[in-house]
Structure 1
């Protein structure tokens, strides 16, 4: 039930030039994302908490790692992509993180609309680039499946991230004070994105989990 056509996924993921282009894009997004956080207090956060603080660059780093696993499969169809339990967990988490924080950014910007609009980059640039995360995420189920264990793992990690963000104030930097509405929306997005992963990915035999 993936809304992204298979032919599009094959065009981007089976060709050397297009896959490399995707890797360059996601790597650049990761670097730009971490630069954003460097300027907004990353050094003051424990290194061990960076993956739970720098949400968007972690999402693009995860999908970069996911796409890298396709390099040994170049020249072959996506069905032949490497697959094992750690990779299934990686692909599932990459999907959830991309969709969640792509949508989260749009929600956060619009909850604080007056603080961002009509800033061309601060509103439109940030929102549209993050909504593009959803398109990247939809490529992943074309070369991977998921399992109950992988979905549970993604759900637990995402909920831990939410608790850290709103229980300890480590949510992404905003131009306004994050309130209960954003916290509730974030927890809702966690369940929404994991549920979406359960629908979009094919499910493997649970013994493979």
Structure 2
């Protein structure tokens, strides 16, 4: 909770978030051109999770005094935990699955594995400092499930390695399962933090 370290985490996550949205630029453009604009919010999964965590750090640095802002902060913190764990693990799993089916290993894959593992780990490490409770966790789980539904109903899920293109139904099942497991991980972390 050292403020200097929180600021370091904030800037690292903010830069990673910006990079993540740039990473999604082709898919965002394709979605904008071919789907209703309302679906755009469901396209960039990992950078949005990183954005939630970045905003959560701001709420730690500058705790709001007004009750309404505290509630908003708690929902964002719940979203940060569920989505960071889910998409952190999901991205690593998809990269490794692509390799296991014969995909090439490139340097960017190793960078993405490290950064996405960090997303999951930092979210679970900071749960005890966040102020959210079960209601915010349920909202976060509901949002993440809605995102899954939109991704696999409209085909706007993150681009998969070429080697996984014939396994979309299996990826879909894994994705929904991972959302539930990420919600459970947040719930267990809250219990350990003795807020349930």
Normalising to structure 1: TM-score of the pair? 0.79
- Given the alignment, which residue of 101, 111, 115 partners 1:129? 115
SS for the counterpart of 1:45 is helix
| Aligned pairs, number | 183
- Given the alignment, which residue of 11, 19, 34 partners 1:32? 19
Following the alignment from structure 1 to structure 2, what is the Cα–Cα distance between the partners of residues 50 and 97? Answer: 17
- Partners of 2:152 and 2:172 within 8 A in 1: yes
- Given the alignment, which residue of 182, 199, 203 partners 2:171? 182
- Partners of 1:147 and 1:203 within 8 A in 2: no
- Given the alignment, which residue of 14, 17, 22 partners 2:9? 22
Following the alignment from structure 2 to structure 1, what is the Cα–Cα distance between the partners of residues 135 and 194? Answer: 11
Residues 23, 180 of structure 1: CA spacing in aligned structure 2 closer, same or farther, 3 A cutoff?
Answer: same
Kindly state the Cα deviation for residue 142 of structure 1 after the two structures are TM-superposed. Answer: 2.4
Kindly state the Cα deviation for residue 204 of structure 1 after the two structures are TM-superposed. Answer: 4.3
For residues 3-82 of structure 1, what are the structure 2 equivalents within 5 Å?
13-15=1-3, 17-38=4-25, 40-46=26-32, 47-72=37-62
Q: Which residue of 1 aligns with 2:104?
A: 117
- Partners of 1:111 and 1:182 within 8 A in 2: no
Offset from partner CA, 1:112-132 (integer Å, 9 cap, x none): 2246432222x3221222111
Residues 72, 41 of structure 1: CA spacing in aligned structure 2 closer, same or farther, 3 A cutoff?
Answer: closer
Unaligned runs of 5+ in 2: none
Offset from partner CA, 1:163-199 (integer Å, 9 cap, x none): 1111111111123215111111100001000011011
Unaligned runs of 5+ in 1: 1-12, 74-79
SS for the counterpart of 1:112 is helix
After TM superposition, the structure 1 stretch with the greater mean CA deviation from structure 2, 62-71 or 131-140, is 131-140
Following the alignment from structure 2 to structure 1, what is the Cα–Cα distance between the partners of residues 83 and 114? Answer: 17
Residues 115, 133 of structure 1: CA spacing in aligned structure 2 closer, same or farther, 3 A cutoff?
Answer: farther
RMSD (Å), alpha carbons: 2.2
Following the alignment from structure 1 to structure 2, what is the Cα–Cα distance between the partners of residues 203 and 49? Answer: 37
Following the alignment from structure 1 to structure 2, what is the Cα–Cα distance between the partners of residues 142 and 149? Answer: 16
More helix by share: 2
